Chain A
Amino acid sequence: MPRISILIAESTCLIRKGLSSVIQKLGNVEILQSVSNKAELCDIVNRLKPDILIANPNMFDSDYEDLKKPFVAANKMSLVLISEDKSIEDTYNADAFIHYKDNQSKILEIIEEIVNQKAEKKRINKSNETLSSREQNILKHIALGLTNKEIADQLFISIHTVVTHRKNITQKLGIKSVSGLTVYAILNNLINMDEVK
């Protein structure tokens, strides 16, 4: 399971540290850093690209909605808001809410759910579509009409490795035939139409 990174933005030191130590109890997460003001927050998000942002809305002042778009959406973060004020649930829009008075198991439950969603998304993205550069290279050779043996010789790898790559490529793309793979390669500019025999 991929590790999920979390950034905590909360101005109260005690809350920040406390939340951080509670979240550590979840196995596959990594607390990137905790920040206490807006300027620092922007900087760290851009630099470290966390998966989840846990923030107190009072850090954003009045421009919460303005920040949300370029920030949360653009960085594909999940947003969890934390506050002592129960009414934030009505005022703001977020993926989840934590209240100061929530007990540990409640907090863990909320965070864990978001973490699992994120992890699942990451896993799907990984197994879907995106060919590694090695696979792209092999696909290119397949599309050019080379046999497994020829590909193995050219790339200095074993035939067995070529076969494994081919299997993975077919699985990722959902395309089995050589001519189908060729069309994919052309559509994705891996090869040129004139290169195909």
Chain B
Amino acid sequence: MHIKKSMKMADVIQMNYMLIPVIHRFGIELGFGDKTVDQVCEENEVDLNFFLQLVNAYHDQDYFPKEELQSIPVREIIAYLKMTHASYLNNTVTDIEQKIKSLELEGNEDKKYIALIRNFFEGYKSELTEHIMREEDVVFPYVLAVDEIIKSEQFTDKNKKVFESFSIEEYEEEHDDVEEKLMDLRTIMIKYVAPPANTNLYHSIIQDLFRLEEDLNYHSRIEDKVLIPKIILMEKSIKNLF
């Protein structure tokens, strides 16, 4: 079932709780009573079309109405992706790291194993950070430059330089799975480590890992299915333009 503007926002969240962090990134807070999606978006000055496309893409893997997605302004997508990045690094990943650390601090004979897990997770974190930094420092500025060229229909010295320094194809190639390590970590925790005394905390870490993975999958879906195809089209039209 697709999410429509006339639905109650509360029902949307009931339908898929994974959307809680998504709406939060838009600055929408819970407690919307019986307000519809339409009303909530208006109150929070969120682009309704973009919001609908995004939550539907999150909610349903196979949802990809090309035309509607094409109409979303590039700036909005980039702004959203940046918000998502920040929330990963500042909240989700940090929270998991904290949990692992406190598990380690409870220390007993399992300490050695928890230290292994912590090291591993830190390795993952720096890989993810690197990946995100690369997107923010190289890919996003490039995308914005492409957008600017299309809109103004001309090159400036600045955006020409950015445009020539990169191509989205490059990004496609290097957009490899940062998630691989994450999957390995949960496999190790589930299959190969005997849980420490504080099983509650240990279990909650595993559940967090699953959720982070799911959220990251959504995130890459937006990048792979919305951003990249859009930019490929734009690159083509720039080439035709000049």
Chain A residues with CB under 8 Å of chain B are 173-177, 179-180, 183-184, 186-188, 193
Say yes or no for B242: interface residue by CB 8 A criterion: no
List the B side residues contacting A180 at CB < 8 Å: 120, 181, 184-185, 187-188
CA–CA, A104 and B24, complex, Å: 70
CA–CA, A177 and B184, complex, Å: 7
CA–CA, A187 and B117, complex, Å: 11
B interface: dominant SS? helix
Question: B83-127 interface mask toward A, CB cutoff 8 Å, 1 = contact, 0 = none?
Answer: 000000000000000000000000000001100110010010000
CA–CA, A90 and B113, complex, Å: 49
The reply to whether A174 and B191 form a contact with Cβ atoms under 8 Å apart is: yes
The reply to whether B180 and A184 form a contact with Cβ atoms under 8 Å apart is: no
List the B side residues contacting A186 at CB < 8 Å: 116
Say yes or no for B138: interface residue by CB 8 A criterion: no
Among A173, A177, A183, contact of B116 (Cβ-Cβ < 8 Å): A183
| Given A174-B191, A179-B120: A187 touches B113 (CB 8 Å cut-off) | yes
Say yes or no for B183: interface residue by CB 8 A criterion: yes
CA–CA, A180 and B185, complex, Å: 7
The reply to whether B112 and A183 form a contact with Cβ atoms under 8 Å apart is: no
CA–CA, A1 and B191, complex, Å: 27
List the B side residues contacting A193 at CB < 8 Å: 112, 116
The reply to whether A184 and B188 form a contact with Cβ atoms under 8 Å apart is: yes
CA–CA, A175 and B117, complex, Å: 14
Which residue of chain B lies nearest to A176 when distances are taken between CB atoms in the complex?
B180
Say yes or no for B192: interface residue by CB 8 A criterion: yes
Which residue of chain A lies nearest to B113 when distances are taken between CB atoms in the complex?
A187
21 contacts across the A-B interface (CB closer than 8 A):
A173-B187, A175-B187, A175-B188, A177-B184, A179-B120, A179-B123, A179-B184, A180-B181, A180-B184, A180-B187, A180-B188, A183-B120, A183-B188, A186-B116, A187-B116, A187-B188, A187-B192, A187-B193, A188-B192, A193-B112, A193-B116
